[in-house]
Each structure stands twice: as structure tokens, then as C-alpha cells.
Chains A and B, each alone.
Chain A
Amino acid sequence: MIAETGLAALWLAAMLAGAQLVFAWMAVARGAEPAQRLIRPIAVAQGVLTCGAMALLILLFLRSDMSVYLVAANSHSLKPLLYKFAGAWGNHEGSMLLWVAVISASGAAVALFERGLDKRTHYATLGAQAAISLGFYAFLLLASNPFARLNPPVEDGQGLNPLLQDPGLAFHPPTLYLGYVGLSVAFSFAVGALLTREVNARFAKAVRPWVLAAWILLTFGITAGSYWAYYELGWGGWWFWDPVENASLMPWLAATALFHSASVLAARDALRAWTVMLAVIAFAMSMVGTFLVRSGILTSVHAFAVDPTRGTFILALLGLYIGGALALFALRVHTVNEGARFEPVSREAMLVLNNLLLCVILALVLIGTLYPLLTEMMGVRVSVGPPYFNAVIGPLTIALMAVLVVGPLLRWRKDDPKAMVRRTTPAMIAAALALIAVIALSAGAIGWLSALGFAAAAAVALASLLPLWKRNLLRTPLYTWGMVVAHLGCAVSLAGMASESAFSQERLAAARPGEKFELAGYTVAFDHVLPIAGPNWTAMEATLTVSRNGRVIGTAKPQSRFFADPPTPTNESVQMTRLGGQLYLVLGDQLEAGRWQLRIWWKPFVTFIWAGGGLIALGGALALIGRIRRERRHKAAPKPARERFA
């Protein structure tokens, strides 16, 4: 009964989405009074129904109901409870249901909480959101029904990919999806504003918190995913330029550009058409990502050609929504007035540069991700990996950081070039000092990209704090703090990346119990290896005693695990976090004569990468709270003050 209830809820929600679309049209085009009153309750009901369906699917997984195809194919009754719960979205159908639940829940949130937009634009926005959900309901119900029954039911399920059996699965996909799909709200706002010809500062102020919220979640999701891959895969890398990773990075890049340009629009009423375009691009990237991950095209172009239902469906939705939005943009762009002007030396101009660089980076990631797929269709097999991405993204990121140093120190509209040089001088000095320091420290054996990374990190760290200079810190608005913290996070993360790539040390050994290994001042003693069993796996577990300067600082127990359902070996690496970095220990294969492969890395300041990501997300959260509080205060005091820049 649970599965049938879930399916019925989905069909009902789909019908409500259809009604929402029709009512929105009536409300906007004809000003129909009853339609206006009904739209918001319908949007909320739709959100409740799909979230209910998601909850029912989770319930089916928790109860290990093997009469449901999805549960049988992806779960196992002996699986730990957390993974039964999270396993609900660790598969195609479940994750598409999560997509739809998030889309309609964000629609409900827009209906409930959005107060800044004028009424007609609000209705048009909800109509656009309904149109998006409708397409994905169709995809879910016609091409990927998560509630399909299995007749006869099986004894037990096939289990979940062991690599996914990690606490990371419980929060990584949902946060990423919330961010990914949250960008649909920005898209709907843009479409709504184009329809009612209300692309202005008010639109930007209304859309900014939604973009910011989606962006915070994306930042958090990507950071968490990177750390997850780092410790779970046991290869010591934190970013692989894997197409699936790129699929999450591309919407993030677009969203970063979007909320920066929305800030210009909100504060200065400039970059109107530009901001709308970015909102469309951001959601397009979410859909491209969904297409790449969900169509199976990454595994094999030919497998995709054999069963193209799902891929074609998503591609058709992508064409429909993005093509439709671009057509609307082309039709309406002449009604969008260019806002206030600005000079080439001004904060706006730097934000335009920021946007251009982010968009070029986005284009390069997109090209690198799609290029192998395109060449393969023409019969040439090509691998595009880190050599390409590092070569093109690295220098552009340094350029982006240079803009980040200058931009926040400039005034809006027009600034004095001499003052710009004067204000950025301390940061330039910091960059030069950092460059000299790392070249001296590494005795010149450092790659130029890592060296520049250190220099840029130093400059950004200093420059990010300068907006607080000579200000009363207690009276500095929260969103200014947000900007400072987020930009500082960029510096911290960049420093971690540069340090990891320049100063990592590695030791690979065939170890006998009792042997000791030295690396970066740490002594790792290989004590013994013992078999050990978990709830659904068996493993060989090594005991390593780590000491420094003769003092024992801890014991590490890396494992070489074997999962039974499905049969898969995995490595459980161990990270020992120290003040100056991380010791990364992996147990490999058993060799002849009682020896074991042992791999040890010393990664100085590697944790900065994710700490920086956390700071960036925290900065976003501070800015979001600051903006919302400010809006509230404006409500209380009806005469709006001019918005001071962040």
C-alpha cells in the first residue's frame, strides 16, 4: 500500500502542477482574482505531496520491502540502518524523486516566504516553477517510476555499492541537490520577471537570497563531496576532474557569477539583462549536469544510444526550458533598459570581470567534459583529464583571484586609478613576499602554478580583510562580514591546494610487521595485521603506531575491506590530522613472505582546502542572514534607505 500511496501522491502533485501553471497564466494575463488566490496554496500542497512521496520511499527502504523493484535492486536487509535510509537516493529513480521533491519544495517555499516581488511577477514565477516541475513529473512517472512493484518479490536485495556505504551518502547528495535544484528558483524568477517586464533592482533584491541559499548548499555539498572522495577512494587526491564532479562544479561557477551580478543589479541597478542571462545559464548547467549523470552517457556513448529513453527525455526538457527561456529573453531583451552606467575603474567593472572570468572557466570545464563524448561519436577516442583542466583552469583561477583582490577595494560607479593602486599595494607586497618565501622554502623546486597559488592566496587573504579596515566592527553589517569571510575562505582553500600540490611527500613500501618507516619527520611502525569482521564486510586491518621525535602520537588502523553484497573490495584509509597537515595511510595488497603493501602520504595543510570551502559557505550564510534581517528592518521602516554596498 505504501508504494501505491506514494505513486498516487506523485500523480496528484503532477496534476496540481498543471493547475498551478494554468492558474498562473490566468492570474498574470487576465488578472483573474480566484486564480490569484489559489496559486500559492496549490504550490504549497504540491510541495507537501512530493516530499510525502519521498518520505514514503524512504520508509520502503527502511522496511526493506523487497516487493518494490527499486528496493530489491539497491538495498539489502542486512545493511546498516543509516544506509537503508540514505540508500533511498543512492540510485537513479530515488535520486530523480529527490530532484522533484526539492523542485516542488522550493516552489512551495517561494509561495510561502517570498514577499519582495510584486504580485504579478510572483505569480509568473510560480507558473514558471510549475512548468519545470511538470516536465520532471513526466520524466519520473513515465520513464523512472521509483514505486514500481516486483512480482514475485525476492528473498533479499542486491545491496548498495559499498563505496556509497559511508555517512557521506546521508548528507552529500541531498545538500548538493538542494543547491542544484534551488537554482531552478532563480530561473523561474528570471522567466517571471521577463514575462511581466519587471527586470530591475527589486527583482534582483528578491532573487538574491534564493540564489545565495542555493549557492551555500552547493558550496557545502561540493566541499563535503571532495573530502568524501579524498578519504574514501584512498588515492590521496581531492579533485579528479571527473565528469560527475564537473557536473556539480559548473552550476556552482554559474551561481557564483549570478549572485555577484545580482548584487550589482540590487545595489546599483546595472547589469539587468546580464543577470537574467546568468540565471538562465545557471539552471541550464544544473540540467546539463543532471543529463550527464543520469543519462548513462558517461559510462558509454553506445550504451546511451542503445537505451536513450532517459537521456533523450532530459535532453528534451533541457531544450524546452532553456530554449524557451532564451527565446523569451530574445523577445523581451529590448524592454529591459540598461541600468546605471559605470566607469572602467569601478567596482561594477571588476564584477563584470569576475563574471567574465567565471563564465570562461565554466565554458572551459564544459568543453573539457563534453569533448571526449563528441569525439567518440565521430569515432576518435580521447581522454581529457587533469593535464587539460589544470593547464587551463589554474591560470584563470589566479586571474580571478587578482580581480578578487582589487574589486572589493573599489568604489561603485567611478574610482580613481591612483587610489586603486594605493589601496592594493599592501596585497601586492604580501603576494611578492609569499612568492619569495615559497621559492626559498622549496629551494626553487616548486611549479610556477603552485607558487603563484601561494602568492594569490596571500594577496587575497590580506585584501579580503581590508574592507574592515578603520571600520567599527560591531556596526559593520553582517553581509559585509559575509563577503570578508567568504573571500578569506577562497584564500585559505587556495593555500591548501597549492600546499598539497607543491609539498606532499609520499612513501610506498612492502612492509613486514615490525618494520618502521620515516616520512616528513613522522615514524610509522607497522605492528601487525589482523582479520576483522563488520556487519556486511570482512577486512584485514593493520595496526600502525605513529610517532614523532620519539613520542607516540597515535595509532592508525587502515583496512583492506571486502564486501559480500555486491562482492567488492575497498580500501579504508586513515587520516591523522596534525596542526601542519595530514598523514594519510593506506593498506594495500598482501604480498608473499608476510609482506604488505603500505602507502603513506604527508600532505601539509591539505585540510585548508575544505576549511576554506567551509568558510566560503559560512560567509554566504552570514550574507544571507544579513540581507534577510535588513529586508525585515525595511518592512518596519517603510522609507528605504539607499543600499550601502556590501
Chain B
Amino acid sequence: MVAVASPRQGPKRKHQRLMLVLLALAATIGGVLLAMSALKDQAAYFYTPAEALAARVEPGTAIRLGGMVESGSLERAADGVTIHFRLTDGKASVPASFSGITPDLFKENGGAIAEGSFDADGTFRATNILAKHDERYMPREMEGIQYDPNTHKVEAKP
């Protein structure tokens, strides 16, 4: 195909290695900058209901809201596929709704994370509900929220 390049000595060889190192550096810096800007725009902040109310999250802003499904709040709409419920962290609770098949472990007094945004009247419209399938597993973001089965109280721990 192509003849072997004779291995040339001298400053030009150094030059090529320097170019490669500079390219790698530029790629690394570019990658980190890209990651930082994307994280600023795309990383969804995680709120518990009390935090979301305190922070006055703008309607329409995509966030993740995590808490316990409040006891006695889960209702199914007549269409059979839309549910209304309240999410609580023990300090505050917010109304939420979702259309779709909920994860298997989604139930009253169970932990859940809802992805979505608030609408103008303060209801959280979930587009996705995350609840891992393993009962022993708590989503990482849910740490510090506990449900006491005896008192039916949800408590937020610092």
C-alpha cells in the first residue's frame, strides 16, 4: 500500500508528539466544559415536597420529586389509566397525577420518585414514575425519608 515512513529524527518528531498531547488536552478541556454546561441545563434537581414548596419551583421546570405516597390519597380516575395521589416527606405534601402503568412497588406508604413538572394550579404532573422493583432497595435520592408502619407517619430525617 504505502511505503514505510522512514523514522525521522529531530525537532519535527517532538512537534508531532506535542501536537497529540495538545489535542488530548483540548479534547479533555472541551469534554469537561461540555459536561459542565450540560449538567447545568440537564441535571434534574431533586426535591422533596417541602423543599419544592420552599424553593417555589417554577411551573413547567422539569424536576424530580421524591417522597412517600400519602396514606389514603391514591385514587384512580374513571379512565382507568390516570391516577391522582399526594407525595409527602412528612413536612409537606403536594398533589400529583400520572397516566400510565405504575411500577410494581408503587403503592400507598411506599417510596416513589416522580419525574415531571408543576402545572399552574400547583399539581405535579408526572411523566414518569420511578420505584425500583426490589423491596430492599430505596432510590438513592430518597434517603432520609422514612415511613413508620405503626403510626402511619412519614418522617423526614436530616
Interface residues of A (CB under 8 A from B): 161, 163, 233, 269, 271, 273-274, 298-303, 338-342, 352, 356-357, 359-360, 363-364, 367-368, 371-372, 376, 381-385, 387-388, 391-392, 411-414, 508-510, 566-571, 586, 588-589, 591-592, 595, 597, 599, 642, 644-645
Which residues of B have CB within 8 Å of A368?
35, 39
- Contact A342:B5 (CB < 8 A) given known A300-B140, A363-B31, A597-B80: yes
Which residues of B have CB within 8 Å of A385?
44, 115
Residue of B nearest to A384 (CB): B43
Residue of A nearest to B51 (CB): A381
- Separation of A171 and B68 alpha carbons in the complex (Å): 37
User: Which of B12, B64, B81, B138 meets A299, CB within 8 Å?
Assistant: B138
Given A300-B140, A411-B1, A567-B135, 15 new contacts (CB under 8 A) = A339-B7, A340-B4, A340-B5, A340-B7, A359-B31, A360-B34, A363-B31, A381-B141, A383-B141, A384-B42, A387-B43, A388-B39, A391-B41, A589-B102, A642-B4
Within 8 A of A (CB), among B29-48: 30-32, 34-35, 38-39, 41-46
Which residues of A have CB within 8 Å of B62?
387
Which residues of A have CB within 8 Å of B45?
381-383
Which residues of B have CB within 8 Å of A300?
138, 140, 143
Confirm or deny: B13 has a beta carbon within 8 angstroms of a beta carbon on chain A: yes
- Is A570 a contact of B143 with CB atoms below 8 Å? no
**Nearest 9 Cβ contacts at the A-B interface:** A510-B80, A588-B101, A360-B31, A388-B42, A569-B104, A387-B42, A381-B46, A367-B35, A356-B27
- Is B39 a contact of A356 with CB atoms below 8 Å? no
- Separation of A387 and B141 alpha carbons in the complex (Å): 17
CB distance from B27 to the nearest CB of A (A): 4
Which residues of A have CB within 8 Å of B146?
none
Residue among B30, B35, B64, B76 with most chain A CB within 10 A: B35
Residue of A nearest to B37 (CB): A392
Chain B residues within 8 Å of chain A by Cβ, number = 51
- Separation of A566 and B105 alpha carbons in the complex (Å): 13
Which residues of B have CB within 8 Å of A645?
1
Which residues of A have CB within 8 Å of B7?
269, 339-341
- Is B43 a contact of A382 with CB atoms below 8 Å? yes
- Is B140 a contact of A301 with CB atoms below 8 Å? yes
- Separation of A642 and B102 alpha carbons in the complex (Å): 61
- Is A414 a contact of B27 with CB atoms below 8 Å? no
Confirm or deny: B23 has a beta carbon within 8 angstroms of a beta carbon on chain A: yes
- Is A508 a contact of B140 with CB atoms below 8 Å? no
CB distance from A553 to the nearest CB of B (A): 24
- Contact A163:B99 (CB < 8 A) given known A387-B62, A391-B42: no
CB distance from A394 to the nearest CB of B (A): 11
Q: Is the interface of A mostly helix, strand, loop or mixed?
A: mixed
User: Which of B27, B100, B133 meets A359, CB within 8 Å?
Assistant: B27
- Separation of A570 and B101 alpha carbons in the complex (Å): 13
- Is B17 a contact of A571 with CB atoms below 8 Å? no
CB distance from A93 to the nearest CB of B (A): 17
Residue of A nearest to B17 (CB): A338
- Contact A299:B137 (CB < 8 A) given known A385-B44, A411-B2, A508-B81: yes
- Is B27 a contact of A364 with CB atoms below 8 Å? no
Residue of A nearest to B99 (CB): A508
Which residues of B have CB within 8 Å of A367?
32, 35, 39
CB distance from B11 to the nearest CB of A (A): 12
- Is A384 a contact of B8 with CB atoms below 8 Å? no
- Separation of A156 and B138 alpha carbons in the complex (Å): 26
- Is B135 a contact of A566 with CB atoms below 8 Å? yes
Confirm or deny: B24 has a beta carbon within 8 angstroms of a beta carbon on chain A: yes
Residue of B nearest to A234 (CB): B101
Which residues of B have CB within 8 Å of A269?
7
Which residues of A have CB within 8 Å of B34?
360, 364, 392
- Contact A591:B80 (CB < 8 A) given known A300-B143, A342-B5, A570-B133: yes
Confirm or deny: B28 has a beta carbon within 8 angstroms of a beta carbon on chain A: yes
Residue of B nearest to A411 (CB): B2
Residue among B30, B64, B81, B134 with most chain A CB within 10 A: B81
- Is A510 a contact of B4 with CB atoms below 8 Å? no
Which residues of A have CB within 8 Å of B143?
300-303
Which residues of A have CB within 8 Å of B140?
298-301, 372, 376
Confirm or deny: B150 has a beta carbon within 8 angstroms of a beta carbon on chain A: no
Which residues of A have CB within 8 Å of B27?
356-357, 359-360
- Separation of A274 and B115 alpha carbons in the complex (Å): 42
- Separation of A161 and B142 alpha carbons in the complex (Å): 21
- Contact A391:B38 (CB < 8 A) given known A363-B31, A591-B76, A591-B80: yes
- Is B31 a contact of A599 with CB atoms below 8 Å? no
- Contact A595:B80 (CB < 8 A) given known A364-B34, A383-B45, A392-B34: yes
Within 8 A of A (CB), among B44-102: 44-46, 62, 64, 76, 79-81, 99-102
Confirm or deny: B120 has a beta carbon within 8 angstroms of a beta carbon on chain A: no
Which residues of B have CB within 8 Å of A599?
100-101
- Is A352 a contact of B135 with CB atoms below 8 Å? no
CB distance from B127 to the nearest CB of A (A): 12
